[in-house]
Amino acid sequence: RFLRSEHVSPTLMRVLDRLDDTPALVQTDLLDTLAMNPLAIALLGDQTRHTGLASSGYYRWFMDPAERLVYPEEVHEHHGRAHAARLRAALTAGSDTPRAARILAELQKHSPEFVRMWELQEVARYGDCKTLLHPDLGRIHVDAQLLYTENRAQPLVVLTTRPGTESHSKLELLSVIGHQQLTP
């Protein structure tokens, strides 16, 4: 079990502040995004703006269709199953099990897709390679590395691309243009 905090660990914040050439963000075990660097915001949109249950990425995945726009449709099933499995893990050993239980209850009540995936009884599926969809740049393949605080309450998620790839070039372009739209 680990401790939850709405404030980013000072150590993680110092690391995040130094990462300016790769997208990085700090999350909780309920996928609340606590902090993002500018490149992460340009790639994923500002995930820190959500409130209430919607601050949880698990909740948004099943309740807000806009949340899925960042991922290609062919990975939605895998991504949803991973979210259901990780929520299951957060319910048993998470930082805020009462809030996890509220998210579970709402998803069971309002999302048949979630119920189907929950009934698979999978636990803690993690993937380290993701394909993201940027509205202007298209598909960007990233590798995700999670670095945890000592108490494991907050992972720093660092997204990197392989040098010399098209995805790497797209991320370099994104670091220059930021979150400006390329198309009218």
pLDDT, position 2: 37
* C-alpha distances out from residue 144 to 3, 22, 71, 96, Å: 23, 11, 14, 24
**Residue in the structure block whose two tokens are 């050439």:** 21
Q: Locate 63 and state its tokens.
A: 């309740």
The SS3 assignment for 88 reads helix
pLDDT, position 7: 83
**Residue in the structure block whose two tokens are 């980013």:** 8
pLDDT, position 125: 58
Low-confidence stretches of the chain (pLDDT beneath 50): 1-4
CA angle 76–152–133, rounded 5-degree value: 25
pLDDT, position 183: 55
pLDDT, position 94: 76
Return d(Cα 125, Cα 102) in angstroms, integer.
Answer: 21
Answer whether 22's CB lies under 8 Å from 46's CB: no
